[in-house]
Structure formats: structure tokens, C-alpha cells
Structure 1
Amino acid sequence: MKSIFKLLFLLLLAGCAGNQAIVNNVNEREANEIVVFLASKGIVAQKIAAPTSATAAAAPTDMFSIAVDPSRSTDAMALLNQYGLPRRQGTNLLTLFAKAGLMSSDKEETIRYQAGLAEQLSNTICKIDGVLDANVQLSFPPSDLNPAPGTPLPKVTAAVYVKHQGVMEDPNSHMEVKIKRLLAGSVNGLSYEDVAVISDRSRFADITLQVDGEMIGPKALQQTYVSIWGVILTKSSLARFRTIFFSFIVLLLLFGAAIGYLVYRFYPLLKKREEKTEVPPSETPPPGPNI
């Protein structure tokens, strides 16, 4: 079975028109992010499905590779390293304490429940418009803790990391208040004041679709705006503006030349007509001598 997957992978690589793979085995979401990011920098990238094999313990996960033109591979890798892509994938508690045997201790069951609750809350926060990613960390006091009399009991605390497109910076959205209320209402014993929210605006928030709905790519990158005599134009419409402007100037010059030619041709005729219409003054003979 593995040989079949490898053969299919090689066939896919052969159909990439000689592209060179620079990133291997990333999930679909991160692969899409890398493709869009490289497209915004003018580098054509292709997402290729990597071979995966299903096991009895876990379901197969779709993984992808990113391939670019060999002449741009160095530039692409330099950009990815500069922006920290692909991101390092850590191991969560659900993976560390995965149920492998028939029996598990109460401690493992508690850890799995708490990790599953945090994962569920993270998925709920990601459903909010403007939130790209979220990670919830819950801290529960030990169940076997016996504090001394008069000592306050440790509190349940939570920390939330939110990667957003700018929605957290909008004071009218009250996003931090909503997240705190969500956690305080979902976790037993967690108060509103014990929830810390850390927000981080994404550096790729400006990489969006164009207004007309076309997907950004190597031939339709983000619109670059230029200023000409105080007029803000997109770079794609600059040539059209120059054509219209210079055509208008040429037409204006031709119109001025036509007016000058008409004045030159008809002004002498008008002047002669004015001279003919003028009435000459009456001449009276001088008075003669009286006889």
C-alpha cells in the first residue's frame, strides 16, 4: 500500500512542470496560507497532496507539500523563514495522554477531560467572525490539595491566545468581554476576573480577496495604489488613466488649433464686411464768396 502512495506522489510531482518542493507534510489550512502568502509576494506556488497511510489507531490526515519554480525556490524559502512559516507544530495533552490501553487511571481521565474542554472552547472561539485561531489553556488546582485552615483555596484560571484580523482592536466589538464570558460560563468554578485574553493581530490580515471577488494570485495580486497629481489610482488602471489624459490633451490642442485656423481664415473677411457697412461722412462744399 505504501508503494502505491509513493508512486502516486511521484506522478503528482512529475505533473508539476518541474516545480521544486520547498515545504513538505503540512496540513491543508497551513498549506493554503503559504500559497496565498507567496502569491502576495509574486511567487507562484502549487499545493500538492502528500501520500498518507491510514493506521488502526488513528484516521488518516490529509497532508500537503508546497512546490514552486526552481528559479524562485530560494526567494520563497527566504520569505517563509522570515515570516516563520510553516509554524512549528507542538504536541497537546490529548496526544500525550491518548488512551492506549483498556484501563486508565483517574488522573489520565481528568487530564483528558480538561484538555478536551480547552480544545472545545478553542474551536468555539474560532467560530467568531474575525478570529483566525485561538488556544485556550485551563489551570485547575490539584484535586488532592488540602490547604491549611484559613488559607484561601487556589482558583481555576484560564488564558486565551487569539490570532485575529483586527477585530480585537475594535472597541465596539467588545470581543474580549465576550470571550471572558464564554469561558466563565463554560468552566465550573472559573470567574470572569480570572480569565486572561492575549490578542495578536495577524501579519497576513491584509492578504484578502479583491473587491470583484477574484482570488489573489500571480496575475492578480493585491492592488497597489499610486498618487498622480493628488489623484489616488490603482496600479492596474494607471495605463488607462495616462491614455485618457493624453488623449484629452491632444483633443484639446486640436480644438485650439481649429479655433485659431478659423479665426485666421475668417477674421479678414469679417473685417472687410465691417468696412463696407460703415457709412462715409457727408462732404459739404466750402462756402463761396457772397456776390
Structure 2
Amino acid sequence: MRRVLILLPVLLLLAGCRTSLFEGLDEDQANRIVAALSHHGINGYKERNADRSWNISVDDADAVVATELASAYALPRGGHANLGDLFSRQGLISSPEEDRIRYVFGLSQELSETLEKMDGVLLARVHIVLPEKDPMDPTHDTLPSASVMMRYRGDTNLEPMRDRIRALVAGGVEGLMPERVALTLVPVTPVLSFPGGCDNDHDIAGGNDVASAAGAVSVTTCSESRARMPSRATTVLGALAALVLLVSGSVWLWRSGLRARFEREPRDGRKPAGASDGRREPMAGDKPRAAGEAKEAGETGEAAGPTEHPGEDA
């Protein structure tokens, strides 16, 4: 029984083995990762820390695929600085050149964050060039320019939005014209390698499963079956652990009942030590026994021999 109780926690632990994927994320990043994994049929588990940050873990069997998905989706996204944080330094004297560099960097960060809010955009980078005016050379080109790179999901078509994206970036920089914004759009389709390969009907590119970056649009049977394997294994192991616990409890109760029965009914027919036959030993102060008991006592005395009475000799 003790061995079973010791092995039971081990079985339960094996039933829920998980691998930590990311730690110390904010809630928005954690939700994005869980949603991306869920679109591909992978269960992501959120755990909250004491400092209000979040950890993401997955089942051991999904660790490799989950890592590839997070990398393809550029998750978790890095934080973006803003102009308020960059110019919040107090008590320090900075040169005009430092202020200019800080301003350009903060402006690029804010525009990148704005573009990443668009549907389907995974990553956005904006580089702004603000040439300095040369008073000695009035003919020098001082018009600003910008370069934008955007990675987006393959199921989202951003090509028709090129002019709108250029106008959005140009509107955030003083003096920038939309035609001076160089825009590069990169569609992303994750290529996921599942351990053990897939069926021939779903094998693409030598055992790799090519899934749409949207996940929900085309999730192959292979990815779904791989994702269900850990949950099935967990269910089976949990059922086995419950069955072992039930059988162990029944055996323990049965053996306890047998032990109590043998203690009440010894095998050799003798009374257990300390057991009585129902008669109570006489004690001082008891009343005289009944006539039948006295007669029985007399017969017992005659069988034992005559009793001497000192008064009769006198």
C-alpha cells in the first residue's frame, strides 16, 4: 500500500509534464502567444507570477513546434520606446545633437508600434532620416526620407494598402512626403517540422508541414493529431492513476477487515490473552452468594478434604 501511495504522485507528475516556453511576459504578449499556438492546435498554458508577469508553457511533445511558431510569428515582440520616456531625463544637460538623435529614435519607435497594430502585421521597422540643414550650402537636399519594412501573415494581403501605409508614415514626420517613403512588405508562411513526420497525404517538402501563418485558415491533420497526443496521454495516465488508487484502497479495506476478523476469532480456538468467560471474580464487600452457589461451593470443599474447626476440639 505504501509503495502504491508513493508511486501515485509520480504517475500524476508524468501525466502533466510541460516545458516552459517564455517567462516574465506582460499579459498582452502572453495572450498573443497563446492565440498563435491555439490557431495551430497547440495548447498553451498561462501562469501568473507574483510580480504580475506571465509565463507560457506547453506540453513536452509540442515544445519544438511551439518554438518554431513563436519564431515565425516574431513573438514575443520587443518593447518600443516613446518620446515621453526618452525625454523624461531630468537634471542632465544634453547637447542639441543628442536631442536630435533621441527625437529621431523615439519617432521611429512610435511609428513601428503603430504599424504593428494593423491586422496581420507581425513585425514593423521604421528608419527615419532627417538631414541637417547646412547654411553654407542652400542647395543641399534637406528633405527627410524614411524606410519601412513590414513582416505580415501570409493570409493577409497588404499590397493594396501600400499607399495608405506610406501616407501614415509620412504624416508622422514633419516635412516627409509619401513618395519619399521606401516600403518593403514581406509575407510570412511558417514551415513547421513535426517530429516523426506526417502521413503521405499531408507531407510537404520532405516531411515538413507547411501551414498558413494564420493557422486557423489551414491547419493540417498532422498538426491536429500531434496536438491531441499529449491531451490523450494525460487522460489515459490520469485514468490509470485513478484506477490504481481505487484498487489500492479496496485492497487496503479488505485486508483491514480480515485482520480485525482474525483478531476476534483466533485460529487455535483458545481465548485471547486477557479475555474472560463471563464470570466476575469475587471482591471484598460482595454480598453472600445464593444457596445454589453456596451448595456448589460446599461440594467443592468436601472434594478438597475435611475442614478443621478449632471450636469442636474444645
TM-score by length of structure 2 reads: 0.46
Structure ranking higher on relative contact order (CA contacts 8 Å, 6+ apart):
2
- Which is higher, the Rg of structure 1 or of structure 2? 2
TM-score by length of structure 1 reads: 0.48
